Chain A
């Protein structure tokens, strides 16, 4: 029997309930939601939360086999949806459509490089929770406290490179942290070769990484997911 693919799961409207919220930093939190019994997805896919006229897409961070759903997001004070989720009490009812997107892991003979900035790490967390290992991960953050899933990725990755903004304060473990942007790491440190790049984060980062892939790794594959 072939493994399920994206087209096996119909995009439909679902109801869910807020179960729990855990703050990872002063601005980033995980929100756990009940999982509708008929909802199925592939690791790396998104759901679209609906609230009145607002629609926001968020990548799931749980594995498809997990009994609940969870998201990781940053509270944007001026944002439309994240403040609602940041204060939603357990029991709050929400609607969503999904699953959405094609940002799923496709094994090949080439080495895999995951590249994320900030909460763009979310889809990779779901992938790792399905048992994917042996990849290189670059996670760009402004502060060392934003490396919230460091333990999980350190265990699963072949090489885990936190990329800390050059202007960030010194950390204790300066040996294991790259000081600079993820695109700088790709420019200066990743050996030449053909890779499968999976890139998730803000579009400015995706542009910089794309241009770097064109320049240094032109025969590689590049899959991207933009976070707005």
Chain B
């Protein structure tokens, strides 16, 4: 099976809702960021020790939600395709909040800024956090141009989810260092 088709060689791609758009389209930027974020999370999972199967499962569940978010971003508002997709709801964000509270409660309190890094799994998690923020910025841009239209509520839930996910990835990075017996490196001004 060939992976390439060549139909995108002239800088256009197809949205799930059927439109042919520029690969520089804001919608493509947004789901591209989500894809990048998802790939980096794959790096985090790959760098976890085998003893952390439960944590790996939690991250993979997030990866699955990100695929749904990518599909949601690849559909223009009002398209009948949006009816066919899994909805992102506040329950998705609530699940993240529960995980953040659980992880944060297991970490020493933080009084200073920390430098992204430490163990490779933590470094991946910090990178994921930064890409998640970029994805969030692009989705905010997207929502600004479709305010009041069909689908804007769905984007609102996506923005909340990405905002919460960034926070999750911050505590996850710290947890990754803790799992490896490493301390976070404090910022020395």
Residues of chain A touching chain B, judged by Cβ–Cβ distance below 8 Å, are 2, 5-7, 102, 104, 106-108, 196, 203, 206-207, 210-211, 213-214, 218, 220-224, 226, 228
| Chain A neighbourhood of B79, CB < 8 A | 106
Residues of B contacting A: mostly: loop
Contact A221 B6 (CB under 8 A): no
Closest chain B residue to A224, Cβ basis: B14
Whether the Cβ atoms of A102 and B84 lie closer than 8 Å is: yes
Known contacts: A7-B85, A106-B80, A211-B10. The answer to whether A223 contacts B18 by CB under 8 A is: yes
Does B81 contact A102, Cβ atoms closer than 8 Å? yes
Q: How far is the CA of A102 from the CA of B14 in the complex (A)?
A: 14
Residues of B within 8 A of A6 (CB): 84
- What residues of B have a CB within 8 angstroms of the CB of A223 in the complex? 18
> Which B residues have a C-beta under 8 Å from some C-beta of A?
1-2, 5-7, 10, 12, 14, 16-20, 79-81, 83-86
Q: Are B86 and A210 in contact (CB under 8 A)?
A: no
Residue on B nearest A197 in the bound complex, by CB: B18
CB-CB under 8 A for A221 and B83, given A203-B5, A207-B6, A214-B12: no
Minimum-distance CB pairs A-B, first 3: A221-B18, A210-B7, A6-B84
At the interface, is chain A mostly helix, strand, loop or mixed?
Answer: mixed
> Please, which residues of chain B bring their CB within 8 A of the CB of A226?
5
Which of chain B's residues has its CB closest to A208's CB?
B7
A5 to B85, CA, bound (A): 9
Cα-based distance from A213 to B81 in the complex (angstroms)? 20
The chain A residue with its CB closest to the CB of B1 is: A228
Closest beta carbon of chain A to B74's beta carbon, Å: 11
Residue of B nearest to A104 (CB): B84
**Which among B6, B14, B16, B83 is the interface contact of A5 at CB below 8 angstroms?**
B83
Residues from chain B with a CB closer than 8 A to the CB of A220 are: 20
Chain B residue nearest to A209 (CB atoms) is B7
Q: A132–B7 Cα gap in the complex (Å)? A: 29
Contact A207 B7 (CB under 8 A): yes
CB neighbours of B19 from chain A (8 A): 221-222
A210 touches B80 (CB 8 A): no
Other A-B contacts than A7-B86, A207-B6, A211-B7, 10 sampled, CB-CB below 8 A, are: A7-B85, A102-B81, A210-B20, A211-B10, A214-B12, A218-B20, A221-B18, A222-B14, A224-B14, A226-B5
CB distance from A8 to the nearest CB of B (A): 9
Asked if residues B20 and A213 are in contact (CB atoms below 8 Å), the reply is yes
- Tell me whether A206 and B81 are in contact in the complex, defined as CB-CB below 8 angstroms, given that A196-B18, A221-B18, A224-B14 are known contacts: no
List residues of chain B with CB within 8 A of the CB of A214: 10, 12, 20
**Residues on the A chain within 8 Å of B7, using CB:** 206-207, 210-211
- The answer to whether A210 and B81 have CB atoms under 8 Å apart is no
A224 to B20, CA, bound (A): 12
Q: Return chain A residues, CB-CB under 8 Å to B80.
A: 106-108
In the bound complex, residues from chain A placing their C-beta under 8 Å from that of B86 are: 7
Q: Is the CB of B17 within 8 A of A221?
A: yes
* A115 → B minimal CB distance (Å): 14
Q: In the complex, what distance in Å separates the CA atom of A178 from the CA atom of B29?
A: 41
